[in-house]
Structure 1
Amino acid sequence: MNLFHLRYFVTLAKSQNYTRAARQLNITQPSLSNAIHGLEAELGLALFVRQGRNVVLTSEGREFSRIVDHSLTILDSGIEQLQHQNNEQTVIKLAALRTLSTRWVPGMVREFLQNSQQDVRFEFTNENGLSPQIIQGLRAKHYDICFCSKVDEQEDIAYFPIASQALVVITPTDHPLATRNQIELSETLAFDQVTFSKRSGLAPIIRQLFAECGGQPHSVYAIEEDEAVAGLVANGFGIAVVPNMPLLKTLPVKIIPLSFPTWQRIFYMATLKDHYQSPAAKDFIDFVHAHHADIRQ
């Protein structure tokens, strides 16, 4: 049954006049007549009877009109819904460590949007979690793409290196070590330190580096997040070994490069291998790959 013919039928049933209906449909009157006659022949029913220059529905025509009206309403509503969904912005859900979410991630998103032809919106998580929490959220499919440290080697997560940070020593500006331009880690053991708590992925790494130097620092506070550690140092609570993050340049601290041992913290883009990615999300992943292909583990 021809969908156009059904729409012709509905229009004629409402106008009750072939000339007006043909004009509304922008077709010729013979074309409309042929369509209605074909529909009646297919159904084996008379749908209209002439009444002067007009036509009126038969009893069968009225029942058929009710059925067609209902069916076309459902069909048109479904088509409209699909078109609306198709025209909606694609949403890409991101999660990132705070140290990456202040500059690196917003900068990458802005550059992608400036070069993308797709209608896409990025949704940033309000949670400022640590890498294990972020990866847990990724596995629960709360996010499409994450930017964090590598948590484990399980095969369900694809990690791609996107940035690195060297470890540095930071001190208050009036600290005895603040005059140094570089320092060995062992030279910091004589001073109180703000360290990373066990929940931080950096804690075991820094403990291992200190072990190589023959001791462990005296910890006055153990904090989870990089920014909080730096904030305590800026307020005179001790010195710390932290990644050389952009935030440090905004705080009243002295940044001292480590001469020995040296170590770099690698950040990754993490995606769930079996998670459906929209075309826009795939484009963003490819965009990050292309812009950071020179970062190596």
Structure 2
Amino acid sequence: MNLYHLRYFSTLAHIEHYTKAADILAITQPSLSYAISTLEEELGVKLFEKNGRNVTLTKYGKVFLNDVEEVLNRLDSSVNSLKLAGKGEGCIDVAFLRTLGIDFLPKIMRGFLAANPTKKIDFNLYCDKVLTADILNGLKEKKYDLGFCSMIDNEPLIEFIPVARQELVVIVPSDHPLAAKEEVCLEDTIPYKQIIFKKRSGLRHIIDGLFERIGQKPDVAYEIDEDQVAAGFVSNGFGICVAPNIPILQSLNVKILPLVSPSWQRNFYMAMLKNVYHPPVVEAFKKYVIEQAQKEWDYKTS
């Protein structure tokens, strides 16, 4: 089925006159008549019927027109989007850990938009119930252009670029025995019930590695997906937690204790698929993020 014939059909359906429609389309009337008859022959039904000097849609033509215009509109929208992307404009699909959406990502986005004031650039953002594993899967499925997350080993398809740091601390309820301390070693946490992160969290392998270094295992009370939720459980007395020092901790009934041994900083990364095409607007944003990360490598999300 010829795409031009579909556009000819749509135009004639609205103009309802062969000569006038041909003029608008900048083709001859015989060419338009041939296109419509070819289309009708291919479909096996009449799309138009005569109405004096004009033509009107048949019942089948009216149904077909709705579908044709929906397809043409979607095609035109897609073509326009691709043309914008080719010019360094368009939409960027970004997935990110919620903790990075408090300050880090909005700051980066605002700076990028300010650096490109004449371009039409927008962002589709994905963070609801998104963990590092979800982000990486979304990148592989090409749902996202970029992800901001932790790094997971054995991901050969993914490029990880460090962009921010965040320290790990131990959070305890305000009335907990450890709350009397100003700082703790990981050994100090062993006697107490702990909230830990589920294995699919990017934090889990980091914290497991810290316990392996001291030859101990935590006494697990609950396994939680997200650091905000873990903090909420700690504030209500369900255990203590080795967690990132995120802003929400300041508003909860917890004591934040620096982890002095073994100390650790959580790194955050910009993740992208390797060896695949990224449109100019995505490449421009990637370059901007790298430049900003180099300037502010000591940035902490807290």
Per the TM superposition, whether the score is higher than 0.5 is yes
Task: Measure, in 2, the Cα distance between the counterparts of 1:191 and 1:84.
Answer: 59
> How well do the aligned residues superpose, as a CA RMSD in angstroms?
2.8
SS of the equivalent of 2:263 reads coil
* Structure 1 residues 69 and 248: alpha-carbon distance in aligned structure 2, compared to 1, 3 A threshold: farther
- Residue pair 1:172, 1:235 contacting (<8 A) in 2 also: yes
Task: Measure, in 1, the Cα distance between the counterparts of 2:227 and 2:213.
Answer: 22
Question: TM-score, normalized by length of structure 1?
Answer: 0.69
Task: Measure, in 2, the Cα distance between the counterparts of 1:64 and 1:244.
Answer: 72
SS of the equivalent of 1:215 reads coil
* Residue 69 of structure 1, CA deviation: 9.9
SS of the equivalent of 1:292 reads helix
**What is the number of equivalent residue pairs in this alignment?**
230
Identical residues among aligned pairs (%): 39
Task: Measure, in 2, the Cα distance between the counterparts of 1:207 and 1:145.
Answer: 27
Residue in 2 that maps onto 1:209:
210
* Structure 1 residues 145 and 204: alpha-carbon distance in aligned structure 2, compared to 1, 3 A threshold: closer
Give the AA of the match of 2:31. Answer: I
For the pair 1:134 / 2:135, whether they are aligned, the reply is yes
Residue in 2 that maps onto 1:25:
none
* Residue 228 of structure 1, CA deviation: 1.2
* Residue 134 of structure 1, CA deviation: 0.9
* Residue 87 of structure 1, CA deviation: 5.9
* Structure 1 residues 263 and 84: alpha-carbon distance in aligned structure 2, compared to 1, 3 A threshold: closer
Task: Measure, in 2, the Cα distance between the counterparts of 1:207 and 1:68.
Answer: 72
* Structure 1 residues 69 and 240: alpha-carbon distance in aligned structure 2, compared to 1, 3 A threshold: same
Give the AA of the match of 2:261. Answer: F
* Residue 108 of structure 1, CA deviation: 1.2
**Equivalences for residues 124-203 of structure 1 within 5 A:** 124-203=125-204
Task: Measure, in 1, the Cα distance between the counterparts of 2:204 and 2:210.
Answer: 10
Give the AA of the match of 2:91. Answer: V
- Residue pair 2:197, 2:225 contacting (<8 A) in 1 also: yes
- Residue pair 2:198, 2:204 contacting (<8 A) in 1 also: yes
Task: Measure, in 2, the Cα distance between the counterparts of 1:155 and 1:257.
Answer: 34
Residue in 1 that maps onto 2:275:
274
SS of the equivalent of 1:118 reads coil
Residue in 1 that maps onto 2:220:
219
- Residue pair 1:169, 1:239 contacting (<8 A) in 2 also: yes
* Structure 1 residues 69 and 145: alpha-carbon distance in aligned structure 2, compared to 1, 3 A threshold: farther
Residue in 2 that maps onto 1:42:
none
SS of the equivalent of 2:294 reads coil
Give the AA of the match of 2:165. Answer: S
Residue in 2 that maps onto 1:254:
255
Give the AA of the match of 2:229. Answer: A
Residue in 2 that maps onto 1:67:
31
* Residue 140 of structure 1, CA deviation: 0.7
* 1:61-96 Cα distance to aligned partner (Å, 9 max, x none): xx944438999xxxxx99x94885446961100001
Task: Measure, in 1, the Cα distance between the counterparts of 2:214 and 2:156.
Answer: 35
Larger Rg: 1 or 2?
Answer: 1
* Residue 179 of structure 1, CA deviation: 2.5
Task: Measure, in 2, the Cα distance between the counterparts of 1:70 and 1:180.
Answer: 88
* Structure 1 residues 235 and 81: alpha-carbon distance in aligned structure 2, compared to 1, 3 A threshold: same
* Residue 142 of structure 1, CA deviation: 0.3
SS of the equivalent of 1:236 reads coil
- Residue pair 1:118, 1:280 contacting (<8 A) in 2 also: no
Give the AA of the match of 2:123. Answer: F
* Structure 1 residues 243 and 87: alpha-carbon distance in aligned structure 2, compared to 1, 3 A threshold: closer
* Structure 1 residues 120 and 174: alpha-carbon distance in aligned structure 2, compared to 1, 3 A threshold: same
Residue in 2 that maps onto 1:103:
103
SS of the equivalent of 2:221 reads strand
List alignment gaps of at least 5 residues for structure 1: 1-12, 15-62, 72-76
* 1:4-57 Cα distance to aligned partner (Å, 9 max, x none): xxxxxxxxx98xxxxxxxxxxxxxxxxxxxxxxxxxxxxxxxxxxxxxxxxxxx
Task: Measure, in 1, the Cα distance between the counterparts of 2:32 and 2:223.
Answer: 72
Give the AA of the match of 1:266. Answer: N
Task: Measure, in 1, the Cα distance between the counterparts of 2:213 and 2:76.
Answer: 63
